[in-house]
Amino acid sequence: MANDLFAPFQLGPIELKNRIVMAPLTRNRANAVSAPTDLMARYYAQRASAGLIITEATHVSPQGIPYPRTPGILSPGQVGGWHRITEAVHGRGGRIFVQLWHGGRISHPSLQPNGRLPVAPSAIRPEGKAATPDGPQPYVTPHELDTEEVPEVVEQFIVAAENAEVAGFDGVEIHAANGYLIDQFLRDGSNRRSDRYGGPVENRVRFLREVVEAVIGVWDADRVGVRISPRNTFNSMHDSDPQALFNHVAECLDDYGLAYLHVTESAPPGGPEQRVDFRELRRRWHGVYMANGGYDRARAEAALAEGYADLVSFGVPFLANPDLPERLRRNAPLNPPDPDTFYRGGEHGYTDYPTLEEIELA
C-alpha cells in the first residue's frame, strides 16, 4: 500500500526505504572540541534501518553552543567526524540529514568564545539553569543582536550548510524549534524587538526566512527540511497567539519547495498550555509533512492512511531500539530507555541496547 509505514517513500530526489524517521536526539557524546566521535558513528550506523536519520542538533558556530559535548560542523575535525558517520550510515544503506542549530540565549558565557554573552533577539533571560562544564549555572541575560549583526548569524548557517555537503550528508534540517535561536525570533515572548525582525508576525518570521533562503542557496530546496514546535514551552518559550504565528510560518515555508516540514506536535508536561490546531496548520502546508510527538505504530499508520502525515519521526523509541523499524513491523516489545544515560556520555545507554536478533540469539 502506498501509505504503508514500511513501504519506500520518495523524498524529493532521495528514496527512503520506509516512512520511519529517526528524530534528532541530543546525546552529549561529542569530544571536548565538539567533534563527532567513532562511538557516535557506531550509534548512527546501528540505526540505519530508519528511512531517514536526522542527526542530533549540531551547532553552526562556537557562538551557537548551548550545551557541553554537543557536536558542531565548523572545524575540519568536526567535519571529518561527521564524514565518518555519513560513510557508516551509507555503508548500511541508510540516509542521513544533519540538523543545523544555534542555541541563542540557551547557553552560558563559559560555553562562548572569550566568555562573551550568548546572543538572542532580545535581552530577556530565560528561567532555569544552563548546563556548563562546571555544572548547572543560572542563565544570564543575553546580548540583544543589533540589526546589523543578524546577517552575521545567517552567514554561520551558510558555512555550516557548505560543510554538511563536504561531510557527505544527504540533506539538512534547519532547527527552528524547542526554544533555540530561530524559535526565539518567532515568538513574542522572547522577541520584543522594534526593528524589521520584531513586532508583527511577518517581521518575527523574517529571520527564519533569511536562514532558509541562505541554506537553499547552498543545497537544493528539496534536500532541506525545517523543524518547528508550535506547542513548545521548553526553554521559557510562549507566544500570545501560537496558532496565528505557526499558520503564517507554514504558509511562508510553503513557498520554497522544501523537502519537508517537521512538526513536533507534543508539549512538555507541566508547562503553560499553548493551544494549536495542527490540522489547521496542515492545511496551509502542501509539501511533505513529517509528524512527531508520541506516535506509536497504530497512530502513525492512521496518520498516513488519512493523508494527514507523509512521514513520522520517532525520538526516544529510537534511542533505546536501534532496530525500531523491525520491532514496529513485528509488533515486538521495545527496549525500555534508561533516562539516566541520555546525556551522561560513554557506551552504556548509547550503543549497548540490544536488537531483536541479539536477544533471540542470546
Q: Is the dihedral of CA 111, 158, 312, 43 positive or negative?
A: negative
What stretch of H or E contains 97?
strand 96-101
**Nearest-angstrom CA–CA distance, 229 and 262:** 9
Distance CA 110, CA 135 (A): 11
Residue 320: other Cβ atoms inside 10 A: 16
- What is d(CA 353, CA 62) in angstroms, rounded to the nearest whole number? 32
The residue from 43, 44, 139, 180 that is catalytic is 180
Cell numbers for 106: 540557551
Alpha-carbon span 82 to 295, nearest angstrom: 29
Three-class SS of residue 88? Answer: helix
Between CA 269 and CA 288 the distance in angstroms is: 28
Respond yes or no: is residue 343 known to be catalytic. no
List the catalytic residues: 180
